[in-house]
Amino acid sequence: MTRTRFHRLRLRPFALALALGAGAAHAADGKLLLTGGVASIDGAAGGGLTPWAVTGSYATQGQAGGTAHLTAVKAQDYALLTYGAAFSWNERIELSLVRQEFDTKDNLAPLGLGGLKLKQDIVGVKARVAGDAVLDSDTLMPQIALGLQYKRTRAGALGPTLFGPLGAKDSGVDVYVSATKLFLAQGVLVNGTLRATKANQNGLLGFGGAQSDSYKVQPEVSVAVLLRKDVALGAEYRAKPDNLNRSVLGNGALAEDDWFDVFIAWAPSKHFSLTAAYVDLGKIVPALQPKRQTGAYLSAQLSF
């Protein structure tokens, strides 16, 4: 079976799920504004950088709903574009599909790779296993969800080096558990996620390395404060495994730093939200670009 045919077959069940969600769109409005989070860069509902235990859209028990998003991140030397969709059912299950496109511009020109664009597809599933963020808001019980993300990267001309001497793989699976606690009376949300991953730069530089091919558990934290019913202000932190630097070079040339952002989300209705953020992605391929990559994040999301 060709890869093109494989992608078509893989997308058909997801398209059907979205069609079913669209048919129930009139009913997918049972949640409070902003309590479904926004689409993360990996597609799962949560903050911009990390998933939360909530399911996307405003569908609650007995309802189905979906979201579609477009996100752009612009740092000093690189740019990232992500777009995708998600379907949620019964406030229990979430399915997501995302394409990431990372533009290296001319920063890899010294390696003969000027203008290289890395692409990655991510298929995710999330299941709520305990708690209810809203109904348990007056107790200490958080909402808890388990998630899985299958990632496959296309590295173009960088592939022979990345998947050869550097020892990375072109696909991998992230497994995570998220706990989200909503203090409804105070308008505060706190989320903690533990992610088992082999991904280098979230998978855009493959998975694992020549001497570091084991899973590493990385923490991720989000805090958000509701300024008013349609505006939330927050911050996120996401730790990274640093596989390539540890296993191959060890001199910092391919070091991978943790990520951080400060965001503001605005939802004028349950059908649309806009999220803007300041992001710090650390040093990316620091041997070529030694300065920290900071910049802007902007994401638009439609819910139905």
In CATH, the number for domain 3-303 is 2.40.160.40
Give CA–CA dist 47/43, Å, rounded: 10
Grouping H, G, I as helix, E, B as strand and the rest as coil, residue 66 is strand
Digitized pLDDT (tens) for each residue of the chain, 304 residues in all = 444 443 443 444 344 344 434 443 345 778 889 999 999 999 999 999 999 999 999 999 899 999 999 999 999 999 999 999 999 999 999 999 999 999 999 988 888 888 999 999 999 999 999 999 998 999 999 999 999 999 999 999 999 999 998 999 999 999 999 999 999 999 999 999 999 999 999 999 999 998 888 999 999 999 999 999 999 999 999 999 988 887 665 567 888 999 999 999 999 999 999 999 999 999 988 878 888 999 999 999 999 9
Neighbours of 110 (CB within 10 A): 10
Sequence spans of domains, the chain: 3-303
Query: Which residues does 175 contact at the CB level (< 8 Å), separation at least 6?
Result: 146, 147, 148, 195, 196, 197
**In the chain, what is the straight-line distance between the N-terminal and C-terminal CA atoms, in Å?**
35
Burial of 164 (0-12, 13-18, 19+ CB in 10 A): exposed
SS3 17: helix
- Burial of residue 150 (CB within 10 Å: 0-12, 13-18, 19+) is middle
**To the nearest 5 percent, what fractions of the chain are helix, strand and coil?**
15, 45, 40
Q: What is the pLDDT, as a whole number, of residue 280?
A: 98
CA distance 275 to 280: 16
Q: Contact 78/293 with Cβ under 8 angstroms? A: yes
Q: Which residues contact 221 (CB under 8 A, 6 or more apart)?
A: 50, 191, 192, 193, 236, 237
Q: Residue 224 in 3-state DSSP?
A: strand
**Size of the chain in residues:** 304
The Cα–Cα gap between 84 and 119 comes to: 13
pLDDT at residue 111 in the model: 81
Q: Measured between alpha carbons, how far is 234 from 179 in angstroms, rounded to an integer? A: 17
| pLDDT given for residue 249 in this prediction | 56
